[in-house]
Amino acid sequence: MKNGEIIYSKAFGMASLEYGIRNNPETIFNTGSVSKQFTAMGIVLLHLQGKLNIDDDIRTYLPELPDFDETISIRHMLHHTSGLRSLHALLGLAGWRSDDSRTNEDLNRFMQKQRDLNLINTNMFFCPDKEAALLMAKRIEEVRKNGDSLGGVVEILVKGVPPGLGEPVFDKLDAELAKAIMGIGAVKGVEIGAGFEAAKKLGSENNDPILPSGFATNNAGGILAGISNGDRIIIRAAVKPIPSIIMEQKTINMQKKPETISIKGRHDISAIPRINVVCEAMVYIVLADHILRQKFVSP
C-alpha cells in the first residue's frame, strides 16, 4: 500500500486443498489470534509515536463500553487482564457456532451487554485485583532471574454457606477446614476471618454486631463457636516458598561434611497458583461432608 491505496496485490497457494480452490486477492481468511498480534503491535507503535498511551482508559476510544466502576486501560486489554469476558465463550453460550459469520457490530453488541467484570479468571494468580496481578507477575520474573523462589497467601471466600454446619467442640467447622488446608503440602499456616489480626483488636472491635440486615462485619470469618453463621466464610493459607532452587545453599553430605547444593532442572517459582485450586477443593470436600452430616441428622 502507498498513500492508503493498494499498488500491488497477488495471491499464492491453495485456499482449500480438499476442494482444490486456489487463493486469489479476494480470498477471505479467518486469521484468528494472528490478528490480535498485529493489532497489539500497531497499538504499541502508536504508543511509541505518542499518538496514544497504553495506560489510557479504553473508554476514551470506546465510550459505549459500560462503566464497571473499574478503569480498564489499553494495557489491561493487551495483557488480557481487563476482566471483560471472552467473546468466544459468550457467543457459544448464546448458541453461535464457531464457523458462524460475525461482524464487528455483533461483537460490539455482546461487549456492551456485559454487566460486570470477571477479574478472577483473567490472570494466572486468580487475583481479583488486576493491578496487583501485574505486580505479582513482575515480582515472580525478578525472583526467577535470581534463581530463588517465592511463597504467598491464598484466600478462599465461600458464599452461600447455610448456618448450622459444624459442631461446638470436637468437629468445629473452622478446625475441620484448618486441618484440611494444613494437610496440603507447602501450607504452613491457616487463619479464618480476622485471623491473627484478631489478637491485636479489642473485644469491641472484634465483635461482629448483628443488624436486622445481618452481621455488620465479618471478623469471625463466617464461623462462630465452630458453627457456620450464614455469613461468608473467609480462609487464608500461608504457603511457603518452593525449597528446590537454583541458588546455591549450604548443606551437609552423608558424612556430615559441609557442602553447597544447587537444584537444577525446571522448578516452579511459587506454589501459587497451582495450589489455589487444591485449597478450593479441600474446602469443598469439608463443606460437603458437613452438609451431608446435617442432612443425615435433620428430620
Cell of 248: 546455591
In this predicted structure, what is the pLDDT of residue 100? 74
Cell of 184: 496440603
Q: Which residues of the chain have pLDDT under 50?
A: none
Cell of 193: 476471618
In this predicted structure, what is the pLDDT of residue 266? 73
Which of 122, 138, 155 lies at the terminal end of a domain, its last residue? 122
Q: With a threshold of 0.75, does the pTM exceed it?
A: no
- Does residue 3 belong to any structural domain of this protein? no
- Does residue 27 belong to any structural domain of this protein? yes
Tell me: do 161 and 207 sit in the same domain. Answer: yes
> For the chain, how far is it from start to end, CA to CA, in angstroms?
78
Query: Any bridge partners for residue 22, and if so which?
Result: 14
In this predicted structure, what is the pLDDT of residue 265? 77
Which phi-psi region, left, alpha or beta, contains residue 180 (left: φ > 0; alpha: ψ -120 to 50)? alpha
Residue 112 structural domain: 14-122
Tell me: do 112 and 250 sit in the same domain. Answer: no
Structural domain count of the chain: 2
| Residue 123 to residue 131: CA distance in whole angstroms | 10
CA atoms within 13 A on the CB side of 175: 10
What are the two backbone dihedrals, phi and then psi, of residue 232, each rounded to the nearest 5 degrees? Answer: -65, 135
Which of 79, 107, 122 lies at the terminal end of a domain, its last residue? 122
Question: What's the CATH number where 195 sits?
Answer: 3.60.150.10
- Does residue 135 belong to any structural domain of this protein? no
Tell me: do 78 and 157 sit in the same domain. Answer: no
Closest by CA to 127, choosing from 114, 144, 140, is: 140
What are the two backbone dihedrals, phi and then psi, of residue 24, each rounded to the nearest 5 degrees? Answer: -145, 165
Tell me: do 166 and 284 sit in the same domain. Answer: yes
In this predicted structure, what is the pLDDT of residue 102? 75
Residue type, 269: I
Tell me: do 42 and 166 sit in the same domain. Answer: no
